[in-house]
């Protein structure tokens, strides 16, 4: 997986954990420009893509992340930061382990559109985290969205509550490296297995997104809507089969496929159904399919 950077820096500072996918030759140092549309009648032209920036992304001590809101979140709700489960300060959760409402004072460097750090956000607790079925962590902050906007002029990214489709143009935005990776959703892995962990319905990127160590937890943004459709988490480094740092795809019929150098993210459209008023986690809500303790 695109592991945290503590081990990475001990191995190779630029490419990450020594377990990162291939070097990110396609990465850009600035947000990609919105593509120009082809000549077509106005009535049939696709909506113009929004420019994807670093605004609302965060840098963790070892990973990337983002300040996020749910579609129903309000300005006075305690804000949320999303990253990977494997980026927790307490280490990797074991397969089957679910972390809920655990105290945390973790800090996050908040970035503006150009990737400049404008402030520090602090968690009050880990609202939810796991590496089972998905690979996600959601920290609840000690400040509200309104307070963050008032202090730094930064608004959160919105989690899309609709499943993305193959072919969607996406950008992986790393707050740790202040780099972006632009590609498309290539398809979906019924099951993605890496070592002891198995993830469901993972997003597979086209080969242009050569994410590296430290990009773990980056938001995967739909270029057309500006909303988050996944959280970046792993890639097959050197062609290994279902081993640590070399995830494999397992089809519904059990067929195993290894895609060396291809990277993946975990879908996030299921998350909003698990939160109620005041951004309060409620795993018993109708439609919530996140794993429960």
Which region among 6-20, 110-124, 245-259 has the lowest average model confidence (pLDDT)? 6-20
Asked whether residue 61 carries a pLDDT value surpassing 50, the answer given is yes
Is it the case that residue 47 has pLDDT exceeding 50?
no
Average pLDDT in the 180-188 region? 98
The reported pLDDT for the residue numbered 49 is: 54
Q: Where are any strands of DSSP class E within 60-106? A: 64-69, 78-83, 98-103
User: What is the mean pLDDT of the segment spanning 158-185?
Assistant: 98
Which pLDDT does position 1 carry in this prediction? 81
Q: How far apart are CA 172 and CA 32, in angstroms?
A: 11
Q: Name the pTM for this structure.
A: 0.86
* Residue that the structure tokens 């709700």 belong to: 77
pLDDT band at 3 (very low <50, low <70, confident <90, very high): low
* CA 73/CA 96 separation, integer angstroms: 29
Segment 246-281, tens digit of pLDDT: 999 999 999 999 999 999 999 999 999 999 999 999
Paired tokens of 211: 């994410």
Torsion angle (degrees, nearest 10) of CA 278, 83, 231, 276: -10
pLDDT digits (tens, 9 = 90+) for 133-168: 999 999 999 999 999 999 999 999 999 999 999 999
Q: Residue 180: which of 205, 153, 148 has the closest Cα?
A: 205
- The pLDDT value given to residue 33: 33
Q: Which two tokens stand for residue 114?
A: 């150009």
């Amino acid at each position: 997986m695109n592991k945290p950077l503590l081990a990475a820096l001990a191995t190779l500072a630029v490419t990450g954990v020594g377990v990162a996918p291939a070097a990110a030759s396609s990465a850009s140092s600035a947000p990609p420009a919105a593509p120009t549309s082809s000549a077509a009648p106005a009535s049939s032209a696709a909506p113009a893509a929004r420019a994807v920036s670093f605004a609302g992304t965060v840098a963790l001590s070892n990973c990337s992340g983002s300040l996020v809101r749910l579609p129903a979140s309000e300005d006075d709700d305690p804000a949320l930061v999303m990253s990977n489960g494997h980026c927790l300060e307490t280490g990797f959760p074991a397969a089957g382990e679910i972390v809920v409402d655990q105290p945390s004072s973790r800090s996050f460097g908040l970035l503006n559109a150009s990737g400049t750090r404008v402030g520090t956000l602090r968690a009050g607790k880990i609202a939810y985290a796991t590496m089972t079925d998905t690979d996600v962590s959601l920290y609840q902050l000690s400040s509200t969205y309104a307070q963050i906007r008032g202090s730094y002029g930064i608004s959160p990214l919105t989690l899309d509550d609709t499943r993305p489709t193959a072919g969607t143009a996406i950008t992986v935005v790393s707050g740790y490296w202040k780099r972006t990776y632009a590609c498309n959703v290539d398809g979906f892995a019924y099951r993605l297995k890496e070592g002891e962990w198995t993830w469901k319905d993972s997003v597979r990127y086209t080969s242009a997104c050569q994410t590296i160590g430290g990009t773990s937890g980056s938001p995967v943004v739909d270029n057309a809507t500006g909303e988050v459709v996944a959280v970046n988490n792993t890639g097959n480094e050197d062609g290994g089969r279902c081993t640590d740092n070399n995830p494999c795809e397992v089809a519904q019929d059990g067929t195993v496929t290894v895609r060396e150098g291809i990277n993946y993210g975990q879908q996030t459209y299921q998350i909003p159904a698990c939160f109620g008023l005041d951004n309060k986690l409620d795993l018993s809500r109708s439609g919530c399919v996140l794993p429960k303790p």
